[in-house]
């Protein structure tokens, strides 16, 4: 079997049997993939400090014959993103980006847009960017990469544009906005989105990835965006994003009582 070379960011690692490890990584050319590293628990030299969550690796692997598990032959550490493991809020935001990536992709199905986005999130969090803001931006952009970008420029029912002072919500079934009037008429109960948050998200959808780091989202708007994007994603995937509850909890505890 010929060896292949790729790069990959590790999103999951677990022990397998006495001496092996299985890693799931995301790669620019093969997408999500799982590989077995034979003897990784014993051979300290070959894989030491490399097969860790959020490690960005140069990878040499052999394709699997039948099942989807690749053979990981060699790994070269490109970036360990170490600061992510030393601050809880950065760590859970990185886990959140990883969980969304795992949920929105299939094994061996390349998503060229997604790899740079994932690296953007890891670099932003490592460099100390606000974790809730990074999580909200990542969530918004992975929806686009997966083909589910929400439509945020008008009400999806009456087609009315976004008015200052208006009330809006995101319809989880259609991924479009619903204005207050349409919502009342149809007695729909969705999570609200303020005009300020809608404008920010709309702007973030249009911004090129290298410039995404210049956008600033206040904490309360980031929480509002994350609540709505989470609800929409639960509907799309028919599955929860478990780490969402961790990123929301400590942040919500910081909010003054009564909000
Ligand atoms: Zn409307």
Provide the sign of the torsion angle of the four alpha carbons 19, 88, 231, 8, taken in this order: negative
Report how far ligand 1's centroid is from the alpha carbon of 235 (Å): 21
Tell me the C-alpha to C-alpha distance, in Å, between residue 64 and each of 3, 6, 32, 236: 11, 15, 14, 31
Each residue's pLDDT, cut to its tens digit, for the chain (259 residues) gives 789 999 999 999 999 998 999 999 999 999 999 999 998 888 767 787 899 999 999 999 999 877 779 999 999 999 999 999 999 999 999 999 999 999 999 999 998 899 999 999 999 999 999 999 999 999 999 999 999 999 999 999 999 999 999 999 999 999 999 999 999 888 777 889 999 999 999 999 999 999 999 999 999 999 999 999 999 999 999 999 999 999 998 655 555 544 3
Report how far ligand 1's centroid is from the alpha carbon of 70 (Å): 50
Report how far ligand 1's centroid is from the alpha carbon of 201 (Å): 19
Sketch the domain layout of the chain as residue ranges: 4-80, 84-253
Claim: this prediction has a pTM higher than 0.85: yes
Report how far ligand 1's centroid is from the alpha carbon of 163 (Å): 11
User: Do residues 56 and 49 touch, judged by C-beta distance below 8 A?
Assistant: no
User: How is residue 104 written in tokens?
Assistant: 């929105």
Report how far ligand 1's centroid is from the alpha carbon of 188 (Å): 12
Residue 85 DSSP label: G
Q: What is the CATH number of domain 84-253?
A: 1.20.1440.120
Report how far ligand 1's centroid is from the alpha carbon of 226 (Å): 23
- Strand-strand pairing, 168-171 and 70-79: unpaired
Report how far ligand 1's centroid is from the alpha carbon of 177 (Å): 8
For residues 208-227, one letter each, b for 16 or more C-beta atoms within 10 angstroms of the residue's C-beta and e for the rest, the string is eeeebbeeebeeebbbbbbb
Report how far ligand 1's centroid is from the alpha carbon of 148 (Å): 21
Place of tokens 């299985």: 22
Report how far ligand 1's centroid is from the alpha carbon of 184 (Å): 9
Does domain 4-80 fall under CATH 1.10.260.40? My reply is no
């Amino acid at each position: 079997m010929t060896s292949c070379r790729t790069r990959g960011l590790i999103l999951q690692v677990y022990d397998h049997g006495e001496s092996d490890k299985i890693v799931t990584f995301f790669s620019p050319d093969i997408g999500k993939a799982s590989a077995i590293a034979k003897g990784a628990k014993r051979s300290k030299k070959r894989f030491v400090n490399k097969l860790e969550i959020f490690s960005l690796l140069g990878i040499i692997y052999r394709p699997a014959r039948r099942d989807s598990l690749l053979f990981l032959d060699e790994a070269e550490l490109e970036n360990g993103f170490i600061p992510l493991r030393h601050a809880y809020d950065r760590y859970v935001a990185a886990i959140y980006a990883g969980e969304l990536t795992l949920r929105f992709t299939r094994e061996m199905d390349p998503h060229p847009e997604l790899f740079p986005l994932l690296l953007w999130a890891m670099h932003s969090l490592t460099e100390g960017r606000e974790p809730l803001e990074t999580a909200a931006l990542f969530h918004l952009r992975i929806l686009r990469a997966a083909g589910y970008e929400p439509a945020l420029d008008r009400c999806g029912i009456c087609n009315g544009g976004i008015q200052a002072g208006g009330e809006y919500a995101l319809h989880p079934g259609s991924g479009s906005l619903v204005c207050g009037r349409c919502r009342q008429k149809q007695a729909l109960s969705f999570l609200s989105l303020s005009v300020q948050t809608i404008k920010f998200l709309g702007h973030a959808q249009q911004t090129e990835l290298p410039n995404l780091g210049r956008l600033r989202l206040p904490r309360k708007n980031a929480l509002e965006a994350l609540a709505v994007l989470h609800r929409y994603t639960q509907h799309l995937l028919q599955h929860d994003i478990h780490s969402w509850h961790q990123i929301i909890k400590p942040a919500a505890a910081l909010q003054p009582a009564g909000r």
